[in-house]
Amino acid sequence: MKLRGTRTESAIRDRLIASNLSIKNDVKIMEFLQKKYESIEFAHVFTCTPDEDGDIYEILINGRVVVSFEISREGGSISEGEEILLADYLKGLRGKEYNLKVLIALDLVNGGV
């Protein structure tokens, strides 16, 4: 699959850029992530799923690893989730939009505008 500059791609790119800025401005999430990954240049949110107890995030860190965790609604505590290499994460992906998100996020990491 190649990027073609469609409106859909542009919308996904805008959301990923916004998610990166949002994560970097969230002190609690950044403290949590920096305990595991010292240098965080890019943190693109792939999913944020509301749950009964909180929100479950899947975030691509620096184009290499996808980390998932939950932020509790009560108190905002962050529970340890799992970490998976991007190559392994890709094996479980289903659907054009998820593949497109990954391609665009990697393009952003590699200097795409």
Domain for residue 2, yes or no? no
Q: What is the mean pLDDT of residues 44-66?
A: 95
Q: What is the mean pLDDT of residues 96-100?
A: 87
**Average of per-residue pLDDT values in the chain:** 93
Domain for residue 99, yes or no? yes
Instruction: Grade residue 113 by pLDDT with cuts at 50, 70 and 90.
Output: low
Strand stretches in the chain, DSSP E: 43-50, 54-61, 65-72, 78-79, 83-85
Q: How many domains does the chain have?
A: 1
Structural domain span for residue 94 = 7-110
| Tokens encoding 98 | 């998820």
Predicted TM-score (pTM) of this structure: 0.90
Phi, psi of 68 (to 5 degrees): -120, 145
Q: What is the pLDDT of residue 96?
A: 85
Using left for φ > 0, alpha for ψ between -120 and 50, and beta otherwise, residue 105 falls in alpha
Q: What is the mean pLDDT of residues 11-16?
A: 97
